[in-house]
């Protein structure tokens, strides 16, 4: 992620210092960037001169002290709150007073990270999506302590880099990782109950919903360890709200080392040509799709109800951040919020779990029609 963010900034004309404790990791990033630039040049998307200039503007260094004159530092290290807080404490002693300090965390508390800085007003979240050079969305997350004027300044800067910027409240998962939880969680629940197979669930979301990938395909692409860690973090930091409860299946996949594409095996075996085969059942596929979709819509309306972000930012985040075919709020309107509420109420009566409670945001939207 750090290398990708550095590439984005350099392509926008900025000089960048890329820091890593490992020289070999820095060397690897240089080789990868060179290969990327060669591909873009071959496709005619960059001139040779521009490609060389982009690479020359990135300086790689293992010494964190070299950041002393930076205007913006974006941290993209391991997803561990204490490790991040320790780093921000160090940065506070190194960088100049006007330097903005940002974290690329996908789910950890920006307010907690900011608390480790003596000048917490300059700390915020700037969350890129992977791969950073290709994914258009960036979430900006002010901490409770963040100076509002810096948020507008960073929004303008990141927009000038060609990114679509949304502003999110500092709550677990921010926008995308919060709203996307049911895409994985409800799919896992349906599978664990024996309602449908993994491959049928994926087919249902692709064929009936227009999603580019099904939930199990996407979890394998992200990495089951990464997806599980985000789910567990959101669940814990949301005070164990059952809507975000992790799956035992997901835990066991992680424990087995079946992490997905990167390990060669996950929910699918990537050494087998028949790994995505499934018998079609249109009726069951529609049932599966409807159930997952109403859970996604419910989560979006709950986020709107709680003021996590504006309605426009909520919808554009899912289109630009995870390639959903439509914004979830708009999707709810299209299929009818009364229909969404009815389906959720049916699930709630059947299971008796708060996981399926209909958001007041949906009830409110219905009453305002």
For residue 47, CA distances in Å to 3, 13, 14, 34, 37 come to 21, 15, 18, 13, 9
Q: Which residues of 146-181 are buried (b: 16+ CB within 10 A; e: fewer)?
A: bbeebbeebbebbeebebbbbbbebbbbbbbbbbbb
Residue 12 annotated as catalytic: no
Residue 139 annotated as catalytic: yes
Q: Which of 3, 10, 103, 106 is catalytic?
A: 106
* 74 phi and psi angles, rounded to 5 deg: -115, 115
Q: Which of 3, 103, 127, 227 is catalytic?
A: 127
Picking from 58, 56, 55, 60, the residue whose alpha carbon sits closest to that of residue 21 is 60
d(CA 312, CA 296): 16
Q: Which residues contact 237 (CB under 8 A, 6 or more apart)?
A: 107, 109, 172
Residue 106 annotated as catalytic: yes
Count how many Cα atoms sit within 13 Å of the Cα of residue 246 in the half-sphere of its side chain.
21
Residue 305 annotated as catalytic: no
Q: Which of 29, 177, 247, 298 is catalytic?
A: 177
Q: Which residues contact 314 (CB under 8 A, 6 or more apart)?
A: 175, 179, 300, 303, 304, 308, 327, 328, 329
Q: Which of 109, 116, 139, 186 is catalytic?
A: 139
Residues belonging to the active site:
106, 127, 139, 177
């Amino acid at each position: 992620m750090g290398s990708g963010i550095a590439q984005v900034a350099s392509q926008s004309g900025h000089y960048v210092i890329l820091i890593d404790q490992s020289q070999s990791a820095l060397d690897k990033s240089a080789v990868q960037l060179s290969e990327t630039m060669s591909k873009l040049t071959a496709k005619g998307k960059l001139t040779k001169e521009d490609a060389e200039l982009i690479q020359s503007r990135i300086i790689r260094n293992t010494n964190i002290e070299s950041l002393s004159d930076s205007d913006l530092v974006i941290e993209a290290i391991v997803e561990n709150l204490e490790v991040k807080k320790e780093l921000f404490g160090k940065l506070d002693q190194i960088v100049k007073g006007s330097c903005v300090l940002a974290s690329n965390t996908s789910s950890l508390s920006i307010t907690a990270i900011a608390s480790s800085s003596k000048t917490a007003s300059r700390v915020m979240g700037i969350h890129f999506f992977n791969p950073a050079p290709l994914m258009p969305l960036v979430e900006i997350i002010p901490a409770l302590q963040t100076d509002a004027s810096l948020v507008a300044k960073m929004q303008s800067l990141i927009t000038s880099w060609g990114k679509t910027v949304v502003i999110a409240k500092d709550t677990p998962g921010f926008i995308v990782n919060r709203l996307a939880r049911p895409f994985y969680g409800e799919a896992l629940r349906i599978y664990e109950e024996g309602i449908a197979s993994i491959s049928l669930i994926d087919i249902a979301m692709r064929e009936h919903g227009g999603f580019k990938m099904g939930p199990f395909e996407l979890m394998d692409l992200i990495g089951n360890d990464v997806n599980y860690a985000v789910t567990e973090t959101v669940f814990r930091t949301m005070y164990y709200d059952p809507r975000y409860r992790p799956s035992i299946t997901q835990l066991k996949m992680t424990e087995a080392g079946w992490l997905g594409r990167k390990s060669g095996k996950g929910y699918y075996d990537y050494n087998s040509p028949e790994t995505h085969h499934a018998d079609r059942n249109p009726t069951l596929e529609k049932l599966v799709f409807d159930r997952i979709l109403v859970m996604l819509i419910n989560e979006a309306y709950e986020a709107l109800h709680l003021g996590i972000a504006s309605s426009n930012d909520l919808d554009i985040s899912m289109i630009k951040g995870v390639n959903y075919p439509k914004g979830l709020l708009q999707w709810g309107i299209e299929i009818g919020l009364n229909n969404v509420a009815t389906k959720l109420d049916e699930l709630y009566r059947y299971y008796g779990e708060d996981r399926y409670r209909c958001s007041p945001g949906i009830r409110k939207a219905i009453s305002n029609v």
